[in-house]
Amino acid sequence: MEKIRCSWVSEDKTYQTYHDQVWGRAVTDSQELFAKLCLDGQQAGLSWITILKKQSNYEAAFFNFDPQLISRLTDEDVERLMQNSGIVRNRLKIQSIIKNAKAYLSIEASGVSFSDYIWQFVEGKTIINTWPTKNVVPTSTTQSDKMAKALKKQGFSFVGTTICYAFMQAVGMVNDHTTDCFCYEVSCQDAKR
């Protein structure tokens, strides 16, 4: 019997694996959260599958999303990255990863882990939704509005409310698998409580 997945998932095997094993699972590792936030920002104006297929190229280009190393990148490095066909060659998006690394380090330097900082927007636990179809799933919420505003104030870029909500869905801050999806119950069990 074929598995029922969220209706946004295509027949692409990469997309199906991402949906089945990654999307909506609670992530609490600070550096992994940083990487996912940066990758969601790269998606702006593009489809997620485009970024997903380039993820390993981003990891290679940006030191596996090590904020310390990224924060040291120079204008010359930006020019070099603009020639990298494995990533989205958009100067503002490349620069945003560097800005975000510096903002991440600033949060961590204040004595707050990035994980705790991010999870505060859902009071430290997964919001479990019960959407019957993707048509009723929001693209932003009051929580993503607050996150976007706070991140921008910290110096992050490409973190609008829609990007923040997509990020919240991806890292399991909200369980937005539709209730008919075979991952719904798994994500409920995996939820941060």
Question: Which pLDDT score is estimated for 184?
Answer: 97
The whole-model pTM stands at 0.96
Q: 153 falls in which pLDDT band (50, 70, 90)?
A: very high
Question: Which pLDDT score is estimated for 12?
Answer: 94
If one compares 2 and 131, the residue with the highest pLDDT of the two is 131
Question: Which pLDDT score is estimated for 70?
Answer: 98
Asked if 16 and 53 touch (Cβ cutoff 8 Å), the reply is: no
Q: 2 falls in which pLDDT band (50, 70, 90)?
A: confident
Domain extents in the chain: 13-190
CATH topology of domain 13-190: Endonuclease III; domain 1 (1.10.340)
